[in-house]
Amino acid sequence: MTASDAILICASAELVEGGLGKRFPVQVRGDEASGFVVRYGGVVYGYLNRCAHLPVELDWAEGEFFESSGLYLMCATHGAVYAPDTGKCAGGPCTGAHLRKIMTVEREGQVFWRPDDVVKPVEA
């Protein structure tokens, strides 16, 4: 990932292990959506904020993606739980399906994401 194609999300310190995630705006096939990043196992992971079961956002309230134990991401609508490090649904109506991964990188105390063929920055 080069500096020119990486888009800043937040400062690294804003992502606490198993704590609140950080949402950011994206476009998917021309429609506005959101992505999110969380810290799990000391690593930052990014996903499209869309349940694999139905296209609804996961978080209960802004940035609340983890269930109470801090071990799984959880869909507020259906209760599906996802492994934070793989995005694979570990239980619920979409068991075995995956969240859409968004490439992230953490460097120099900041977290960035990189657009791909599906997830793009919101056009101004």
Quote the pTM value: 0.94
Is 124 inside a domain boundary? no
Q: Would strands 31-40 and 43-48 be described as parallel, antiparallel, or unpaired? A: antiparallel
CATH (domain of 49):
2.102.10.10
pLDDT number for residue 52:
92
Q: What is the pLDDT of residues 63-108, one digit of tens each?
A: 999 999 999 999 999 899 999 999 999 998 888 999 999 999 999 9
**Percentage of the chain surpassing pLDDT 90?**
85
The pLDDT, as a whole number, for residue 1 is: 45
Number of neighbouring beta carbons within 10 Å of residue 67: 17
- CA dist 57 and 53 (Å) reads 11
In a domain, 24, yes or no: yes
Query: Within a domain: residue 2?
Result: no
Residues 52, 21: Cα–Cα separation, whole Å = 18
Parallel, antiparallel, or unpaired for β 119-120 and 73-74?
unpaired
Assigned domain for 1 exists: no
Q: Measure the CA–CA gap between 72 and 80, rounded to whole angstroms.
A: 9
33 in any annotated domain: yes
At residue 4, the pLDDT reads: 61
Average pLDDT, the chain: 93
Q: Give residue 40's domain range.
A: 7-119
The domain tally of the chain equals: 1
